[in-house]
Amino acid sequence: MTKTPFYITTAISYVNGVPHLGHAYEIILTDVMARFQRLDGRETFFLTGTDEHGEKVAKTAEQHDMSAKEFADKNAASFIKMTETLNISNDDFIRTSQVRHHKSVQAIWKKLHDKGDIYLGKYEGWYSIREEAYFAEDELRESEDGAKFTPNGTPVEWVEEPSYFFRLSAYTEKLLEYYEAHPKFIAPDARRNEIISFVRQEGGLKDLSISRHKSRLKWGIPVPGDDDHVMYVWLDALTNYITGVGYPDENSEAFQKFWPAQYHVIGKDIIRFHCIYWPAFLMSADIELPETVFAHGFINVQGEKMSKSVGNVLSPDGLVETYGLDQIRYFLMREIPHGQDGNFSHEQAVLRINSDLANGLGNLAQRTLSMIHKNCDGAYPSPGAFTDADKALLDKAYRAMLNETREAYNTFKIHRALEAIWRVVSDANAYIDEQAPWTLKKEDVSRMNTVLCVLADVIRCLAIIVQPVVPVSANKMLDQLKVPDDQRTFEHISDAYALKPATAIDKPEGIFPRIVEEQAA
Ligand code: MSP
């Protein structure tokens, strides 16, 4: 049976700043899922990009004496570079300033307009430029000098202007029915409950302002048929998910194949936009809704929220330089539980990298391959009959680990997948100590060969299954094991013993070096 294609997206990042650990976490998480799906046999399309319009970018550009476009170009380049630094396997990178996207947003606007869901009104209210969002009076906090702030602490200003509105109020019931009928639409469940109670609030949803007057904002997509207005950033930004697969050409190959998306991966701060506005826009435009919006938690650094003023903002470049690429990917995926907030601490990173990667998987592979190289004439021997202990370990790798890991990867429980994988790493390390193949060299060469074969085949399975998280290192390991390129997908795990006797292997080199404290500090 051929599997259905898989489409996954990250949020698109604002270009008023440069990438930091939070962006890195989100894109790595999404990359792990995309790589897993490809290795599990699904044709996959992975989209990421930048969200470039809006007042915030226009104002920051001004402060830097640059045009908004120049400023966006400069910072979009640093987000593109991040995809390279972190070895992200995205298939496309969308920028909302691109012509393809302007066409797409104008097309969806027309659809909503033709539906009768857009009308011209007047907006007045509290607006946070930094969050690009309006806030109700009762959501705001007031400082001693009377200045008002959002719950996230950003300042708001009073704004009055003519604005186009989207009839979001007409979608209150439709959305609630949709959430009820599609329990997988919002994940994890805690977020789903949060959205449902927000939509259920007294009086239902309010209509949504979706444009700005040109006198206030020029850096945006013009409203079709009214040169005095440009679009509000969220209609513009959210539409990137369909632009990326060819909208407005709904008959295009990409749209037909990949829409609706399986996952929009986003941070918990932007769930309302994704779980309320976006489905309402899509319903109005008669476009199918994505399967799941998955909201991950936030990462703090050494227990504190990242912020420029605290001076604890970590850059992807710096992290890769300090810890290594696959090491940082592993640490983030292992340390931050499904949908919850997590903490980045230097001490914990060094501990995990050294114990799990250097001493755990790395040492297992290094010991095994060195012994084969040294004691078996540099090539795989033939295994003899497997004992119960051999069969138990192989079976764990072929079946239990594969099943648990598949299930965990599929539901974004990446830390659970890694736990299941590392249970086999420690079982294999215990097995090597119990079997002590080094003592068998003189007594029973045939048994030594079998033990080394069992270990090598378990390492083959481990390297295949860990590829989504540490792709470069896992592939180095598979190269050392001489596993052919076309035998590295998940279906090759469930093969029975798969190493070819007499295949020559090279003298192995360590794949995961230990981090020595002085270097990392
Ligand atoms: N431009 C909007 C998203 C539009 S999507 C149609 C935006 N941009 S952002 O640059 O502020 O954030 C991009 C993503 O990074 C969001 O999903 C956000 O939740 C995530 N993160 C930003 N800081 C984060 C952490 N400290 N930790 C984890 N993720 C964080 O919002």
* Domains 6-297 and 346-520 agree in fold: no
Helices 21-39 and 316-323, packing angle to 10 deg: 70
Q: What is the 13 CA–ligand 1 centroid distance (Å)?
A: 6
Q: What is the 19 CA–ligand 1 centroid distance (Å)?
A: 10
Closest-CA residue, ligand 1 atom 18, reads 267
10 Å CB burial of residue 227 (0-12, 13-18, 19+) is exposed
Q: What is the 26 CA–ligand 1 centroid distance (Å)?
A: 8
**Which atom of ligand 1 is closest in space to residue 265's alpha carbon?**
17
Would you say the C-alpha torsion 396, 398, 400, 401 has a positive or negative sign? Answer: positive
* pLDDT tens column, 326-368: 999 999 999 999 899 999 999 999 999 999 999 999 999 999 9
Q: What is the 11 CA–ligand 1 centroid distance (Å)?
A: 6
Mean pLDDT (whole number) for 69-79: 97
Cα–Cα distance measured from residue 385 to residue 182, given in angstroms and rounded to the nearest whole number: 51
Mean pLDDT (whole number) for 500-508: 95
State pTM to two decimals. Answer: 0.94
Pocket test for ligand 1, best of 18, 23, 274 (most atoms within 8 A of CB): 23
Question: How much is the pLDDT for 32?
Answer: 98
Half-sphere exposure of 40 (CA within 13 A, CB side): 21
Q: Over 80: is that where the pLDDT of 2 sits?
A: no
The answer regarding whether domain 6-297 maps to CATH 3.40.50.620 reads yes
Cα–Cα distance measured from residue 512 to residue 113, given in angstroms and rounded to the nearest whole number: 56
Q: What is the 431 CA–ligand 1 centroid distance (Å)?
A: 44
- Strand ranges (E), 249-371: 263-267, 292-296, 299-301, 342-344
Q: Where are the domains of the chain?
A: 6-297, 346-520
Q: Which residues pair with 8 in a beta bridge?
A: 46, 263
Mean pLDDT (whole number) for 222-232: 94
Question: How much is the pLDDT for 1?
Answer: 57
Would you say the C-alpha torsion 418, 419, 421, 425 has a positive or negative sign? Answer: positive
Q: For residue 169, which phi and psi values (nearest 5 degrees)? A: -60, -30
Closest-CA residue, ligand 1 atom 12, reads 13
> What's at 95, amino acid-wise?
R
Cα–Cα distance measured from residue 32 to residue 405, given in angstroms and rounded to the nearest whole number: 12
Q: Over 80: is that where the pLDDT of 521 sits?
A: no
Pocket of ligand 1 (CB under 6 A): 11-14, 22-23, 25-26, 51, 237-238, 240, 266-267, 269-270, 298-299, 306
Cα–Cα distance measured from residue 361 to residue 346, given in angstroms and rounded to the nearest whole number: 21
Are 390 and 450 a contacting pair, CB within 8 Å? yes
Per-residue CA distances from 72 to 51, 63, 104, 131, 240 (Å): 9, 13, 20, 17, 16
Question: How much is the pLDDT for 134?
Answer: 77
In which band, very low, low, confident or very high, does the pLDDT at 124 lie, cut at 50, 70 and 90? confident
Cα–Cα distance measured from residue 233 to residue 56, given in angstroms and rounded to the nearest whole number: 10
Cα–Cα distance measured from residue 493 to residue 515, given in angstroms and rounded to the nearest whole number: 31
Question: How much is the pLDDT for 55?
Answer: 86
* pLDDT tens column, 293-323: 999 999 999 889 998 888 899 999 999 999 9
Question: How much is the pLDDT for 356?
Answer: 98
Name the architecture of domain 346-520: Orthogonal Bundle (1.10)
Q: What is the 373 CA–ligand 1 centroid distance (Å)?
A: 48
What is the DSSP annotation of 365-395? HHHHHHHHHHHTTTB--------HHHHHHHH
Q: For residue 2, which phi and psi values (nearest 5 degrees)? A: -80, 140
Cα–Cα distance measured from residue 187 to residue 309, given in angstroms and rounded to the nearest whole number: 32
Lowest mean pLDDT among 156-160, 220-224, 508-512: 156-160
**Which atom of ligand 1 is closest in space to residue 306's alpha carbon?**
26
